[in-house]
């Protein structure tokens, strides 16, 4: 494109951009990649402590490839979208086995790695290798939708395609690493979702939304839908030695691959929990102690969690098989646990008050 978009952006970036994020140090493709995956749908301030701990534990792609999946998931615990962690682990093994432990500097090849899509591949190409590639993350979508007054919700395919065209057109051939960081920084620091600081924006003179005084129209908002409400019993089962029974979730779906508490269909009443434990888990238990419930919200539904504590009186070893395992509390807390389950195991009563 022949306008001054990239030049103005780069001049602004030199003065005001973020040059000191953790993944900007010791920059290599591995660190860039991990940061990009963590940053998918996750804010920078949330990611930083996870990134530091992850790099301490898995300094290289080989360390990651050789690690047990449980170890990877435990370092992801609380970050959400756990398929990212499983895909990251799988891709690390792909890099080692198919590319000799070196990240390919080709966008198409990067996109063959599990969990790397068009934008993330481009970010790695630009940030790690400083080669030309166009990214389109949430920040860039917002900047471009406003600059070009692109109507509609970016989740819609046609809108997304239009934004990709603008993204490709603006991406310069020189200083791509800086440009990529610059346009994300502008979206995060100036062209913010609410109350953008248009007076500080290097693109303000040519921004169509600004010219029309229609900042709030772009990008178009997602059509809203009511989230369904679901309910489940969650059992805190303790044996006579103080261990807790955990159940590994199926590899896909909600909390895939994580350790959680055994669940019972909410159709059962409190008075049926003992019998349900006996029938489904083979465990004889004392009277359940009810803990007040709470609601956990996912991106697409609400889950009412009704926790109950039961002490196992009979033989506990029968349940220690397949996906079910007994853990001492301290050990359990080192596992990959969903955030509300971690909270429930740590402070059951406090969690219930939330």
Partner DNA sequence: AAGGCGGGGTT
Partner DNA sequence: AACCCAGCCTT
Nearest to 143 by CA among 80, 206, 56, 50: 206
| Burial class of residue 84 in the structure, from the number of CB atoms within 10 Å of its CB (0-12 exposed, 13-18 middle, 19+ buried) | middle
Q: Is 78 in the site for DNA (CB under 7 A)?
A: yes
The smaller minimum CB distance to DNA, of residues 187 and 288, is found at: 187
Shortest distance, CB of residue 193 to DNA, whole angstroms?
5
Which residue of the set 36, 162, 238, 247 is catalytic? 36
Q: Is 334 in the site for DNA (CB under 7 A)?
A: no
Q: Is 1 in the site for DNA (CB under 7 A)?
A: no
How far is it, in rounded angstroms, from Cα 86 to Cα 169?
A: 34
Q: Is 253 in the site for DNA (CB under 7 A)?
A: yes
Q: Is 224 in the site for DNA (CB under 7 A)?
A: yes
| Residue that the structure tokens 């493709």 belong to | 29
Q: Residue 267's CB: how many other CB atoms inside 10 A?
A: 8
| Residue that the structure tokens 């609410």 belong to | 194
How far is it, in rounded angstroms, from Cα 330 to Cα 191?
A: 45
Q: Is 158 in the site for DNA (CB under 7 A)?
A: yes
Q: Is 338 in the site for DNA (CB under 7 A)?
A: yes
Shortest distance, CB of residue 254 to DNA, whole angstroms?
4
Shortest distance, CB of residue 141 to DNA, whole angstroms?
7
Q: Is 351 in the site for DNA (CB under 7 A)?
A: no
Catalytic-residue membership of 36: yes
- Enumerate the β-bridge partners of residue 264: 233
In eight-state DSSP terms, residue 204 is G
Positions 255 through 314 that interact with DNA (CB under 7 A): 255-256, 296-300
Nearest to 189 by CA among 20, 49, 13: 13
The smaller minimum CB distance to DNA, of residues 142 and 310, is found at: 142
Q: x/- site string to DNA, residues 136 to 155, per CB under 7 A?
A: -xxx-xx------------x
Q: Is 119 in the site for DNA (CB under 7 A)?
A: yes
**In degrees rounded to 5, what are phi and psi of residue 54?**
-65, -40
How far is it, in rounded angstroms, from Cα 12 to Cα 58?
A: 35
Return the range that interacts with DNA (CB under 7 A); candidates 2-10, 192-200, 206-214, 261-269: 192-200
Pair of tokens at residue 169: 């057109």
State which of residues 10, 29, 73, 79 lies at the interface with DNA (CB under 7 A). Answer: 79
Count interface residues toward DNA (CB under 7 A). 62
3-class SS of residue 152: coil
How far is it, in rounded angstroms, from Cα 38 to Cα 80?
A: 9
State which of residues 123, 176, 235, 312 lies at the interface with DNA (CB under 7 A). Answer: 123
Within 13 A of 231's CA, how many CA atoms are on the CB side?
7
How far is it, in rounded angstroms, from Cα 142 to Cα 186?
A: 10
Q: Is 74 in the site for DNA (CB under 7 A)?
A: no
Binding site for DNA (CB under 7 A): 18, 21, 23, 35-36, 39-46, 78-83, 87, 114-121, 123, 137-139, 141-142, 155-158, 181, 184, 187-188, 193-195, 221-222, 224, 227, 252-256, 296-300, 338-340
Q: Which residues are catalytic, by number?
A: 36
């Amino acid at each position: 494109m022949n306008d001054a978009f990239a030049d103005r952006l780069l001049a602004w970036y030199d003065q005001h951009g973020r040059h000191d994020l953790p993944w900007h140090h010791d920059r290599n493709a591995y660190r860039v990649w991990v940061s990009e995956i963590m940053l998918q749908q996750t804010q920078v301030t949330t990611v930083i402590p996870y990134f530091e701990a992850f790099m301490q534990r898995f300094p290289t792609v080989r360390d990651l490839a050789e690690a047990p999946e449980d170890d990877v998931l435990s370092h992801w615990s609380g970050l959400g979208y756990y398929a990212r962690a499983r895909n990251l682990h799988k891709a690390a093994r792909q890099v080692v086995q198919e590319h000799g432990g070196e990240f390919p500097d080709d966008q198409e090849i990067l996109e063959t790695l599990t969990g790397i899509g068009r934008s993330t591949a481009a970010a790695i190409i630009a940030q790690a290798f400083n080669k030309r590639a166009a990214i389109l993350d949430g920040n860039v979508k917002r900047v471009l939708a406003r600059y070009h007054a692109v109507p509609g919700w970016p989740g819609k395919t046609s809108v997304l395609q239009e934004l990709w065209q603008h993204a490709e057109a603006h991406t310069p051939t020189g200083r791509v690493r800086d440009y990529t960081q610059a346009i994300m920084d502008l979206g995060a620091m100036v062209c913010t979702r609410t109350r953008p600081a248009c007076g500080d924006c290097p693109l303000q003179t040519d921004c169509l939304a600004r010219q029309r005084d229609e900042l709030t129209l772009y990008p178009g908002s997602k059509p809203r839908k009511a989230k369904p409400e679901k309910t489940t019993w969650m059992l805190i089962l303790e044996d006579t030695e103080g261990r807790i029974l955990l159940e590994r979730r199926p590899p896909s779906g909600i909390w895939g691959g994580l350790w959680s508490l055994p669940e019972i269909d909410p159709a059962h009443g409190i008075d049926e929990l003992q019998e349900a434990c006996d029938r489904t888990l083979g465990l004889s238990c004392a009277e359940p102690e009810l803990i007040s419930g709470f609601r956990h919200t996912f991106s697409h539904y609400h889950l009412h969690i009704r926790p109950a504590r039961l002490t196992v009186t009979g033989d506990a070893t029968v349940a220690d098989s397949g996906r079910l395992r007994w853990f001492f509390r301290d050990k359990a807390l080192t596992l990959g646990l969903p955030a509300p389950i971690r909270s429930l195991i740590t402070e059951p009563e406090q969690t219930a008050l939330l």
